[in-house]
Chains A and B, each alone.
Chain A
Amino acid sequence: MLEPVNISLEALNLATLMPMLIAIGGGLVILLLDLAKDNLHKSLYVMLTILILLVDLGATTGLTYGANEKGFFDVLLMDGIAVLSQVLILVASMLFIPLSLTSKRFHEYSYPEFFALFLFMIAGFQFMVSSDNLILIFIGLETASLSLYTLIALHNRSNSFEAAVKYFTMGALAAGFFTMGSAVLYGISGSLELGQIAGAISDRMNEPGITILILGGAGLLLTAFAFKLSLFPFHTWAPDVYEGASAPLAGYMSVVPKVAAFVVSMRIFEMFIQLEITWVQDMIIILSVITMTIANLMALVQEDVKRMLAYSSISHAGFVMVAIALATDKANTGVFLYYSLFMFTNLGAFAMLWVSRHKNRIHHSRYDHPYEKFSGMIKIMPMGAIVMGLFMLSLAGVPPFSVFWGKIYLMSATVDAGYLWLAIVMGLNSAIAAFYYLKLIVYMFLKEPTDAVTQETTYYNVSKPLLTILGFAVIVTVASIFMVNPLIEYIDTMVKATNFGI
Chain B
Amino acid sequence: MDNILSILIFFPALAGILGFVVDKNSAKAYGIAVAAIELILALWLWMKFDITNAGMQFTEKVDLIAQFGISYNVGVDGISLFIVIMAALITLLGIILLRDDTKNMKNMIVSLLFLEMTMVGVFLSLDAIIFYLFWELSLVPMLYIIGAWGGPTRVYAAVKFFLYTFAGSLIMLVGLLSLAYLNHLHTGIWSFSILDWYELPLTEGQQFWLFLSLFAGFAIKVPMFPFHTWLPHAHGQAPTIGSVILAAVLLKMGTYGFVRFALPILPDASVTFTPFIMTLSLIMVIYTAMIAFAQKDMKQVIAYSSVSHMGIIMLGVFAMNAEGLGGSIFLMLSHGIVSGALFMLVGVIYERRGTKIMSEFGGLAAVMPVYATIFGVMLMASVGLPLTIGFVGEFLVLLGFYKVSTLGTILAGTTIIIGSIYMLSLFKKSFFGPLTNEKNRDLEDLDGRELTALIPLVLIVVWLGVYPKPILTPIDNSVKALLVKMENKAISPKTKEAIIISKKEAK
Contacts and interface: CB of A to CB of B under 8 A. Distances in A.
A492 interface: yes
A442 B67 contact: no
Contacts of A409: 68
Given A411-B174, A485-B66, A488-B67, A398 B140 contact: yes
B158 interface: yes
A447 B156 CA distance: 12
Contacts of B68: 409, 412, 484-485, 488
B291 to A, nearest CB: 27
B166 A434 contact: yes
Given A400-B137, A411-B174, A438-B163, A446 B181 contact: no
Q: Is the interface of A mostly helix, strand, loop or mixed?
A: helix
Nearest to A442: B155
Interface in B104-156: 129, 132-133, 136-137, 139-140, 143-144, 147-148, 154-155
B462 to A, nearest CB: 40
Given A415-B177, A445-B147, A489 B67 contact: yes
Contacts of A400: 133, 137
Contacts of A408: 129, 173, 177
Interface stretch (A99-107, A340-348, A422-430): A422-430
Contacts, number: 94
A424 B181 CA distance: 15
A482 interface: yes
Contacts of B173: 408, 411, 427
Contacts of A441: 143
A472 interface: no
A411 B178 CA distance: 10
A286 B307 CA distance: 41
B159 A442 contact: yes
Contacts of B137: 398-400
A420 interface: yes
A441 B146 CA distance: 13
A415 B140 contact: no
Nearest to B64: A481
Interface in A398-425: 398-400, 405, 408-409, 411-412, 415-416, 420, 423-424
Interface string A439-473: 00110011100000000000000000000000000
A446 B158 contact: yes
Contact of A484 (B65, B143, B181): B65
B64 A445 contact: no
Interface string B242-274: 000000000000000000000000000000000
B467 interface: no
B67 A427 contact: no
B188 to A, nearest CB: 14
B148 A446 contact: yes
Contacts of A423: 174, 177-178
B209 A420 contact: yes
A431 interface: yes
Contacts of A416: 181, 184
A420 B65 CA distance: 23
Nearest to A485: B65
B277 interface: no
Nearest to B67: A488
Contacts of A446: 144, 147-148, 154-155, 158
Nearest to A447: B155
A431 B167 contact: yes
Nearest to B162: A438
Nearest to A409: B68
A248 to B, nearest CB: 28
A442 B147 contact: yes
A423 B147 CA distance: 31
A489 B143 CA distance: 36
Interface residues of B, number: 36
Nearest to A412: B177
B148 A445 contact: yes
A435 interface: yes
Given A420-B174, A424-B174, A438-B163, A399 B132 contact: yes
Contacts of A420: 174, 178, 209
B150 to A, nearest CB: 9
A204 to B, nearest CB: 37
Contacts of A492: 67
A445 B178 contact: no
Contacts of B148: 445-446
A221 B181 CA distance: 34
A406 to B, nearest CB: 12
B460 interface: no
Contacts of A411: 173-174, 177
A396 B162 CA distance: 12
B396 to A, nearest CB: 36
Highest count of chain B CB atoms <10 Å: which of A446, A484, A489: A446
A393 interface: yes
A49 to B, nearest CB: 34
A399 B131 CA distance: 10
B163 A435 contact: yes
A430 B167 CA distance: 8
Nearest to B149: A446
A424 to B, nearest CB: 5
Given A408-B129, A424-B174, A446-B154, A485 B147 contact: no
Contacts of A438: 143, 159, 162-163
Interface in B195-215: 209, 213
A447 B67 CA distance: 43
Contacts of B184: 416
A430 to B, nearest CB: 6
B180 interface: yes
B170 interface: yes
A428 B67 contact: no
A435 B180 CA distance: 28
A431 B170 contact: yes
B64 A485 contact: yes
B154 A415 contact: no
Given A411-B173, A427-B170, A488 B65 contact: yes
Nearest to B68: A488
A434 B155 contact: no
Interface in A272-328: none
B171 interface: yes
Contacts of B129: 399, 408
Given A398-B137, A488-B68, A435 B159 contact: yes
Contacts of B67: 485, 488-489, 492
Contacts of A485: 63-68
A445 B159 CA distance: 13
A237 B140 CA distance: 34
A435 B164 CA distance: 10
Contacts of B159: 435, 438, 442
Interface string A218-239: 0000000000000000000000
Interface string A7-38: 00000000000000000000000000000000
B180 A412 contact: yes
Contact of B171 (A397, A428, A481): A428
A348 B173 CA distance: 27
Interface of B: 63-68, 129, 132-133, 136-137, 139-140, 143-144, 147-148, 154-155, 158-159, 162-163, 166-167, 170-171, 173-174, 177-178, 180-181, 184, 209, 213
10 contacts: A398-B136, A399-B129, A408-B177, A411-B174, A411-B177, A415-B174, A415-B181, A428-B170, A438-B162, A485-B64
Given A435-B163, A446-B154, 5 more contacts: A423-B174, A442-B147, A445-B144, A446-B158, A485-B63
Interface of A: 393, 396-400, 405, 408-409, 411-412, 415-416, 420, 423-424, 427-428, 430-431, 434-435, 438, 441-442, 445-447, 481-482, 484-485, 488-489, 492
Nearest 4 A/B pairs, CB to CB: A427-B170, A431-B167, A399-B133, A446-B147
